[in-house]
A and B are shown apart, each in its own frame.
Chain A
Amino acid sequence: MKFRHTTSSGDDKVELQMTPMIDIVFQLLSFFIMTFRIGAQEGDFNVKMPVLAPAAGAASEIALPPIKIRLRADAAGRLTSVQFNDREMPVAGAMRLLREEIIGLIGDDRGPGSIQETAEVELDCDFQLRYEHVIDAVTAVSGYLDREGNIIKLVEKIKFAPPRTGAPASSS
């Protein structure tokens, strides 16, 4: 039987090649760092808008008429007027007032079949109104955050009135 000759010291050191692994690891690290974005979370406001012709039914007969919110804008798209059921509101703090009106309307009536569940808001916006004002109004009627940061829901059914004409020539 033939034995392999060992070196005099007897402690052969097998060296691992670390360089390629470290290269890859650093490449991965730089990729993740470069693609990392500290972005704000996104959320949705759900709007259910059935097909053009609304279906007639018993439910719609007993439901409350929609709360109409009219948002007017100037040529630059800035909010100039807010109406809550044909009642004019001051533009400064209009969204807070809008929320208070909705809270006053809904009250503590919550749960299945409650006003909170059946109430519907119709947003009637000027064509050139900036979208952020629409979202402000949707936020104001949808709910609010309590002191603990919990969302208290208000109106869940939101719809848009038919689009108003008066589109700027460039956007047609």
Chain B
Amino acid sequence: MRFKSRTPTAVYEGDFTPMIDMTFQLIAFFALLLNFSQVEQNERIQLPSSELAKPNESPLDYPITLQLTREGNVIIGGQEIPPAALRPYLIKEKQLLQSQGRPVADATVIIRAHKDAVAGIVQELIDRCQREGLERFALRAKEDVKQ
């Protein structure tokens, strides 16, 4: 009886190059689209939409972001507080500005209020900021793509 001689088992290696190429392209795509300006955003705040809301051409000089929830609380620096407790935070921002030798009026208060928030509380926020010497405000809205 004759036996076949055993040949060594062949190792089949897949070619990974196209897959890695594609994966790197995908990573580059997502990395470029990663928007760091969304850091100040909060999922709970649904902004009102406006056809005129276009992104700023240049970043604001000294932004202070106040987010107003539907329930009427303010989110500042990751903390949720009632509007009445806003003053210490504004004073801290003022001191920061003054330590940099800049006038308080240089700061811009960005108001990101929920679309169903009460207009009176938005005005109350503006009023509280005015009392601390802040006078530039930016009412934020999302771009209305439907119109």
Enumerate chain A interface residues (CB-CB to B < 8 A).
18, 21-22, 25-26, 28-29, 32-33, 35-37, 39-52, 71, 73, 77, 125-136, 138-139, 142-145, 151, 160, 163-164, 166-168, 170-171
Q: How large is the interface on B (under 10, 10 to 19, 20 to 34, 35 or more residues)?
A: 35 or more
Enumerate chain B interface residues (CB-CB to A < 8 A).
16, 20, 23-24, 26-27, 30-31, 33-35, 38, 41, 47-56, 68, 72, 108, 110, 113-124, 126-127, 130-131, 133, 135-145, 147
Inter-chain CA distance A69–B50, complex, in Å, is: 18
B147–A48 touching, CB < 8 Å: no
Determine the main DSSP class of B at the interface with A.
mixed
- The smallest C-beta distance from A108 to any residue of chain B, in angstroms, reads 20
Q: Which residues of A contact B49 (CB under 8 A)?
A: 40, 132, 135
Determine the main DSSP class of A at the interface with B.
mixed
Inter-chain CA distance A126–B115, complex, in Å, is: 15
B72–A134 touching, CB < 8 Å: no
B24–A46 touching, CB < 8 Å: no
- The smallest C-beta distance from B6 to any residue of chain A, in angstroms, reads 20
14 more contacts with CB within 8 A, not counting A40-B49, A41-B55, are A32-B34, A35-B34, A42-B47, A44-B138, A44-B139, A46-B137, A125-B119, A129-B118, A130-B116, A132-B116, A145-B51, A145-B147, A151-B54, A163-B124
